[in-house]
Amino acid sequence: MAKIIDGKKVAEEIKENLKVEVSEFREKNGFPPGLAVVQVGNNPASTAYVSFKQKACEQTGIYSVKHHLDESVSEEELLSLIGKLNSDSKIHGILVQLPLPEHIDEQKVISAIAPEKDVDGFHPVNVGRFVVGMEALLPCTPRGIIRLLESYGVETEGKHAVVVGRSNIVGKPAALMLLKKNATVSIAHRRTKNLAELTKSADILVVAVGRPGLVTGDMIKEGAVVIDVGINKVDGKLVGDVDFESASEKASLITPVPGGVGPMTIAMLLENTLQAARMLSENR
């Protein structure tokens, strides 16, 4: 029977540490780190995430402002808001909640954010810096996954890590981070043949595709570490991409949904905001 990875608890510990560091930053600089969160439209999941992010800022002493734009906002107006936030000295982090409406070019919007304020780590400059091993702001969810593995003493070196999903937000960066930690990494996606065969060879299995119950216990190696990044609503209940019940009979460690990776994403966002504020203040 697997031990449950308590992401909520680890995230709370990180936030407690951050409280102290944020307060030290404030004393030294005379202002707190500041995060601007931009939401377009009323996607209920986005509304929930944005509210969690703002609450976490409040909890740790980070200043946060929300810009809620109408679904029909033009790309130009959104870009203009980002331009203003880029030059706002109270703001050190800018986060545009995704997904954006169809008529807006997501990559164009991400690329308009000043790389120094890109606390999501999605800007091509940060992605590039990360890939070649330079200092960069890194995507929050994969950072949260790595931090959970470290918190629970999971060795990655020489281990076979299988990442199911190849998104820019989770799959690709998670695979690169595991590679950096000397895992042997495989990336599976919708065109992968014999998914079960591949997942069964994983010592560390990360699943981030958004399909409830995609991975079941019979697809998991005895003793594997299973990280479930999925957040799906099924019959009004939140579930991951992994069938928790059958998977926890095979895994040695497993993240629950909710309470696994989710809270870590938010904790990493706060850390990124403090990091951005520090970098910007040193260079002023």
118 is catalytic: no
Under 8 Å between Cβ of 207 and 215: yes
Edge-to-edge order in the sheet of strand 3-4: 3-4, 253-254, 225-228, 204-207, 160-164, 184-188
Find the catalytic residue in 120, 228, 241, 243: 120
Q: How far is the CB of 21 from ligand GUN (least distance, A)?
A: 22
Exposed, middle or buried, 232 (CB in 10 Å: 0-12/13-18/19+)? middle
**Residue selected from 98, 179, 195, 238 as contacting ligand GUN according to rule CB under 6 A:** 98
Q: How far is the CB of 280 from ligand GUN (least distance, A)?
A: 19
| Closest to ligand GUN by CB, 53 or 221 | 53
| Closest to ligand GUN by CB, 167 or 192 | 167
| Closest to ligand GUN by CB, 120 or 228 | 120
Q: Which of residues 106-165 bind ligand GUN (CB under 6 A)?
A: 120, 140-141
- Which of these, 62, 14, 8, 13, lies nearest to 278 by C-alpha position? 62
Token digits of residue 39: 């939401």
Q: Does residue 96 touch ligand GUN according to CB under 6 A?
A: yes
Under 8 Å between Cβ of 224 and 182: no
| Closest to ligand GUN by CB, 18 or 138 | 138
Token digits of residue 187: 């990336």
39 is catalytic: no
- Which of these, 209, 212, 214, 222, lies nearest to 248 by C-alpha position? 222
Q: How far is the CB of 42 from ligand GUN (least distance, A)?
A: 15
Under 8 Å between Cβ of 117 and 85: yes
Q: How far is the CB of 48 from ligand GUN (least distance, A)?
A: 11
Q: Helices 7-29 and 261-282 sit at what angle, rounded to 10 degrees? A: 20
**Residue selected from 50, 73, 169, 209 as contacting ligand GUN according to rule CB under 6 A:** 169
120 is catalytic: yes
Q: Does residue 97 touch ligand GUN according to CB under 6 A?
A: yes
Largest CA distance in the chain: 57
- Binding segment for ligand GUN (CB under 6 A), chosen from 10-18, 89-97, 181-189, 214-222, is 89-97
Residue ranges in contact with ligand GUN by CB under 6 A? 95-98, 120, 140-141, 169, 265
Residues with a catalytic annotation lie at 53, 97, 120
